[in-house]
Structure 1
Amino acid sequence: MGSHRRRLAHSGFDRGACAALSALSVAAAALGAVPAGSAVAAPQGDARAEVDRLYEEAEKATEAYNKADERADALHRQVSDSQDLIARQQERVNTMRDALGSLAGAQYRSGGIDPAVALLFSADPDDYLDKASVLDRITAHQAGQLHELQGALRELAQERAEATRQLAELERSRAAVARHKKTVEHKLAKARQLLNSLPATERAAYERISRTGRTDLPELGGAGPASERAAAAVAAARAALGRPYVWGANGPSGFDCSGLMQWAYARAGVHLPRTSQEQRFAGHQVPLSQARPGDLVVYRSDASHVGMYVGNGRVIHAPYPGAPVRYDPVGMMPISSVTRV
């Protein structure tokens, strides 16, 4: 996925698309409701607080964008499935129509006259009645099948029209998220400019503070990974150390926070959801005091950041633009939950 986004085909798909649209619309609306100027509301000179706010706001926008992108991919697959289904049913209808057309032609050629008159002139009335009875049964059966297929096609056509409308709504929601993300990127660039204008000692101080863990955390045990898949995920995450933070990327050349977790666990044969909010519920939650390597540590009350616990009071994570995948103290920011996959 990374920074390369696929364009969606604006065609129909089944009504399975409906379920996630409202959540995405709410997410986009919530992001759109944040005034652009609020990201730089910090007093001048308080560069560190300003950058922290910008990073947090950008991460929320990125996770919402990731969610929209994941749903768009799912909807795109549903479009293809529905189009295949419609094509197959249309082919069946065409076959039935051909058969019914041939039957109607045969009826006409036999003389589209009143059955009583046909019976009067028939050389073998019993044979005529037998054939007429069979013909009626065939016609009724074929007509019933056609009626059933036409009803199914009408329903599919309605679903396709509704789904097309919903796809347009999804695109609008996704565009709103993308616009907000672009705004935050612009603010981040300004904040980066501000940091770069500060003396080297102040820039170094910001980096030190951003990597300082809390000292009031419970004592963490020294147990190893809880499973083979957790051990494999830790190994994969360690292999990504030093790779850059990239918006919306899930590897292998760059990552955002949830993208790194998804990629690392995929190397272990486990599919994780795309966003940190969903990854929070991708297993069962354990107390921080029982954290083991491979557990996902989710941060902030809105679960907008995630890292992987690796032992010794540290996590591996993709921090923010300009900072590569690295180790940091597990208590680097408020912890929301710990999830064992």
Structure 2
Amino acid sequence: MVSHRRPTRPGLHHGVRATVLSAAAATAAATLGSAPASAVPEDTPGTAKAAVDRLYVEAERATEQYNAARESLGRQRGRVARAQDAAARTQEDINRMRASLGSMAGAQYRSGGIDPSVQLLLSSDPDTFLDRAAALDRVGERRAVTLGKLHRAQRRIAQTRAEAAGALAALERDRAAVARHKRTVVAKLARAREVLHALPAADRESLDRASRSGAAGTLADGAPASARGLAALMAARQALGRPYVWGAEGPDGFDCSGLMRWAYAQAGVGLPRTSQEQRYAGRTVPLAEARPGDLVAYRADASHIGMYAGNGQVIHAPYPGAAVRYDPVGMMPVSSVTRV
């Protein structure tokens, strides 16, 4: 399990510590539902820390799912708007064609309701006959063309309306997904706060200030692989100290993938919204060859991401309550390194 916190200071009275940590462990077990009812977590300072770590990990995963659902929601809104616009334009075409056909029918009615071909046969003047025949052919062709266009437009508007209905259904599904993931994030963070608040103030402050565990490693402080990587790194450095805000992509607050997207946007590069998509936004390189500006994805599901800053460190937005900062690149299992 990835650690966000240092162990509690040894000076805490054993009786108080045991009581507090037992309450924290019980809260965590009820929240996570991962241990059987008969299992009693060991009363150690690491129990509360492990519970908070896991809650933050689960909240971060739900945050990335929220980001993905919100992106999809935006796409569906555009799809609905385009389908509705196309249907409106097609309906205008249909109305015009129906009006044109109505004019043709009205002209025939005003001529006495006699079929034009019959009237043509009654003409005794050869020149008039030929003129009327040519005109009749043109009218018939126009009518046939208009009818063909009308039929095609009617099929097109039926298809467009079906597409709009599908987009609307997808829109509602995405809205529900956004709301569901938001509830999950809020619940996980609330539980993490409960566990933290159950600790004595000194231990809570120690946990809040602690860095994730992990060694910096032996990676060299090499030059950025590209000018855009350097520009993105400089932007990320400007964000140091700004708060983690789940679902945010700057400039005043960030979640992990929001920081990466914002930093690369300052370099003129568009990244996808989620950490899972960002890991495929460029060329994969080995961790040993990481250069400043590369994206470092963590965990097998790439639910966290940071930017390699050189000297075995990354810049990232860690978790709620922590500001954008440097941490060791080995703070969590690295799943991939991406050069944008």
What's the TM-score, normalizing by structure 1? 0.82
Partner of residue 108, structure 2: 107
Q: Tell me the matched-pair count.
A: 302
Partner of residue 54, structure 1: 55
Q: CA deviation at 1:161?
A: 1.7
Gaps of 5+ in 2: 1-27, 36-40
Q: Which of these two proteins has the greater Rg computed from alpha carbons? A: 2
Q: CA deviation at 1:94?
A: 1.9
Partner SS state of residue 327, structure 2: strand
Query: Structure 2 CA distance, aligned partners of 1:77 and 1:159?
Result: 12
Q: CA deviation at 1:89?
A: 1.8
Q: CA deviation at 1:327?
A: 0.7
Q: CA deviation at 1:232?
A: 0.5
Change in CA separation of 1:140 and 1:206 when aligned onto 2, cut-off 3 Å: closer
Query: Structure 1 CA distance, aligned partners of 2:202 and 2:34?
Result: 24
Partner of residue 233, structure 2: 234
Alignment of 1:33-72 (within 5 A): 37-39=30-32, 43=41, 45=43, 46-72=47-73
Q: Does 1:313 align with 2:312?
A: yes
Partner SS state of residue 330, structure 2: coil
Q: CA deviation at 1:37?
A: 4.0
Percent of aligned pairs with the same amino acid: 53
Alignment of 1:116-155 (within 5 A): 117-124=118-125, 125-155=129-159
Q: Does 1:157 align with 2:161?
A: yes
Partner SS state of residue 302, structure 1: coil
**Amino acid in the other structure paired with 2:264:** Y
- The CA RMSD over aligned residues, in Å, is 2.2
Q: Is the 8 A contact 1:303 1:336 kept in 2?
A: yes
Query: Structure 2 CA distance, aligned partners of 1:116 and 1:221?
Result: 92
Partner of residue 204, structure 1: 206
Q: CA deviation at 1:234?
A: 0.5
Partner SS state of residue 180, structure 1: helix
Moved more, 314-323 or 77-86: 77-86
Q: CA deviation at 1:330?
A: 0.8
Q: Is the 8 A contact 2:79 2:164 kept in 1?
A: no
Moved more, 177-186 or 66-75: 177-186
Query: Structure 2 CA distance, aligned partners of 1:130 and 1:92?
Result: 28
Query: Structure 2 CA distance, aligned partners of 1:319 and 1:40?
Result: 24
Change in CA separation of 1:205 and 1:170 when aligned onto 2, cut-off 3 Å: closer
Change in CA separation of 1:44 and 1:164 when aligned onto 2, cut-off 3 Å: farther
Alpha-carbon displacement from aligned partner over 1:98-120 (angstroms, at most 9, x marks no partner): 22221221122123224564235
**Amino acid in the other structure paired with 1:39:** L
Partner SS state of residue 297, structure 2: strand
Q: Is the 8 A contact 1:58 1:184 kept in 2?
A: yes
Q: CA deviation at 1:222?
A: 2.6
**Amino acid in the other structure paired with 2:63:** T
Q: Is the 8 A contact 1:234 1:308 kept in 2?
A: yes
Change in CA separation of 1:192 and 1:40 when aligned onto 2, cut-off 3 Å: farther
Partner of residue 286, structure 1: 285
Q: CA deviation at 1:282?
A: 0.6
Partner SS state of residue 240, structure 2: coil
Query: Structure 2 CA distance, aligned partners of 1:116 and 1:287?
Result: 82
Runs of 4+ with deviation above 6 angstroms: none
Partner SS state of residue 331, structure 1: helix
Moved more, 56-65 or 129-138: 129-138
Change in CA separation of 1:205 and 1:132 when aligned onto 2, cut-off 3 Å: closer
**Amino acid in the other structure paired with 1:337:** S
Q: Is the 8 A contact 1:48 1:206 kept in 2?
A: no
Partner of residue 170, structure 1: 174
Alpha-carbon displacement from aligned partner over 1:30-73 (angstroms, at most 9, x marks no partner): xxxxx994427573751101000001000000000000011111
Partner of residue 265, structure 2: 266
What's the TM-score, normalizing by structure 2? 0.82
Alignment of 1:76-115 (within 5 A): 76-115=77-116
Partner SS state of residue 242, structure 1: coil
Query: Structure 1 CA distance, aligned partners of 2:177 and 2:97?
Result: 42
Partner of residue 295, structure 2: 296
Query: Structure 2 CA distance, aligned partners of 1:56 and 1:265?
Result: 24
